[in-house]
Amino acid sequence: MRGPGPHRYESGRSRTDNGDRSSTLFISCSALGKEVRAIIRKHQWDAEYVPVDARYHLYPVKIEEAVQQKLLETDGLFERRVVVYGQCGAHRLDDIIAEHEGAIRPVGPHCYEMYGGEDFRKSVKEVPGTYILTDYLIQVWDKLIIRGLKMDQHPKLKTLMFAHYKRMIYYSQEQSEKLIAKAHLIAADLGLELLVKHVAYGDLETRLVAIMEGRAQPGAEAEQSDYSYPIASDTPFTSDPVKVVIK
């Protein structure tokens, strides 16, 4: 076991305390990064960590490009590489991961589904048009969503992009009154009902533990349903909200 937490991987430089390379690399969407690092520390895994920019959710093909680059850079350096992403509209992601030995992805259609697990699958089936908030998304809402989707420059985009949503669910990792208050402001601004549910790490932790222990991951048996989220209008895929199928 190692020290207090994972080293951030830097090509050719980052090492464990005794000078050897760690056995596992976590390549993670930065929207999950804080929790992934906390889970690594909690379980004292021999692991390193590298983030991928969460803004790529607005342009899903960039997720594929970034993950492919990280995998190519680290081929042969680690026994296991865990790509901590949902499918997230990156339609070639699983094919890219399958091309690299020792690479694996937690099951799940979307990064934020990993927090909600069964409740996520039930909720989006009961109310199609459910939008998911997390600690991270609330903290970067103005930068990633409002300015990232240019709604500050074109206010009418807010109505267009969120017209089909009916409610929000905030899956909280920390029980923060400040974040809860911000979540209520976001929902009110969009005219949506808000439900707050504290889930901590949810299925993100149980799936990562299963991967590290070589066991089957929970959540793979979910029934088919749809979850959609807005993406930038100049994405190579479509200007319409991406629909991610839960299988």
Nearest Cα neighbor of 242 from 57, 55, 31 is 57
Rounded-to-10 torsion of CA 63, 221, 41, 88? 10
Whether the pTM exceeds 0.75: the reply is yes
pLDDT, tens digit, 9 for 90 and up, residues 111-142: 889 999 999 989 999 999 999 999 999 999 99
Model confidence at 9, pLDDT cuts 50, 70, 90, reads low
- For 7-108+203-220, CATH number out of 3.30.1360, 3.40.50, 2.20.25, 1.10.599 equals 3.40.50
Phi/psi at 147 (nearest 5 deg)? Answer: -85, -35
3-state secondary structure 19-49: CCCCCEEEEEECCCHHHHHHHHHHHCCCEEE
* Percentage of the residues of the chain whose pLDDT score is greater than 90: 67
159-193: string of b/e by CB count within 10 Å (b at 16+)? eebbeebeebbbbbbeeeeebbebbeebbeebebe
Residues 6+ apart with CB under 8 A from 215: none
Q: Indicate if the pLDDT at residue 81 is higher than 60.
A: yes
Model confidence at 57, pLDDT cuts 50, 70, 90, reads confident
pLDDT attached to residue 15 = 45
Model confidence at 189, pLDDT cuts 50, 70, 90, reads very high
Q: Indicate if the pLDDT at residue 67 is higher than 90.
A: yes
pLDDT attached to residue 227 = 60
- The β-bridge partners of 214 are none
Q: Which amino acid is at 73?
A: E
Q: Indicate if the pLDDT at residue 226 is higher than 90.
A: no
pLDDT, tens digit, 9 for 90 and up, residues 141-180: 999 899 988 999 998 998 888 999 999 999 999 999 999 9
Please state the domain extents for the chain: 7-108+203-220, 113-198
Quickly count: other Cβ atoms within 10 Å of residue 236's Cβ: 8
45/64 Cα distance (integer angstroms): 26
Nearest Cα neighbor of 200 from 95, 77, 110, 114 is 114
